[in-house]
């Protein structure tokens, strides 16, 4: 049984879409079920100024990623990296046991988007 919070985030996903010229993009799929999530981030002064997502997945993967974007917006990169799957589940008031794995996709995609951003910054660094 899904919670009212989950149903709300599934029917009215927050921050769905793309960020043109994103500072980082992360895409994660689950080969078992075929669902995937892509997250775009905009970073300003080490904070997530923008977090959006695209999804091809089940209601739980969409709702967990939607609430993840809400949790992540405005956080520092370090804070965003520390958002755990359990934080996402808690923010939705729980998930059926069989759907817990769905909360992994968004968090993994966000971590990958941040890693992508940090890698880009590193490759732009030039020794003088
Ligand atoms: Fe695969 Fe939900 S069933 S992410």
pLDDT (tens digit, 9 = 90+) per residue, 20-77?
A: 999 999 999 999 999 999 999 999 999 999 999 999 999 999 999 999 999 999 999 9
Strand partners, 45: none
CATH number at residue 65: 3.90.1010.10
Residue of the CA atom closest to atom 2 of ligand 1: 102
Ligand 1 in contact with 35 (CB < 6 A)? Answer: yes
Mean pLDDT of 73-97: 97
Is the beta carbon of 61 within 6 A of some atom in ligand 1? Answer: yes
Q: What residues contact 57, with CB distance under 8 A and at least 6 apart?
A: 33, 35, 36, 37, 102, 105
Decide which of 1 and 18 is more confident.
18
48 CB near ligand 1 (under 6 Å): no
Domain that holds residue 83: 4-124
Q: What is the widest separation between alpha-carbon atoms in the chain?
A: 59
Tell me how many domains the chain contains. Answer: 1
To the nearest 10 degrees (0 to 180), the angle between helices 4-11 and 59-72 is: 90
């Amino acid at each position: 049984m899904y919670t009212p919070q989950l149903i709300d985030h599934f029917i009215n996903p927050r921050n769905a879409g793309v960020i043109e010229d994103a500072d980082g993009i992360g895409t994660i799929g689950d080969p078992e079920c075929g669902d995937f999530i892509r997250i775009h981030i905009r970073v300003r002064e080490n904070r997530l100024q923008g977090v959006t997502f695209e999804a091809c997945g089940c209601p739980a993967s969409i709702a967990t990623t939607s609430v993840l974007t809400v949790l992540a917006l405005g956080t520092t990169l370090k804070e965003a990296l520390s958002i755990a799957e359990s934080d996402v589940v808690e923010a939705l008031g729980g998930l059926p046991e069989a759907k817990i794995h769905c909360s992994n996709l968004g968090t993994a995609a966000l971590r990958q988007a941040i890693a992508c951003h940090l890698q880009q910054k590193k490759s732009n660094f030039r020794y003088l």
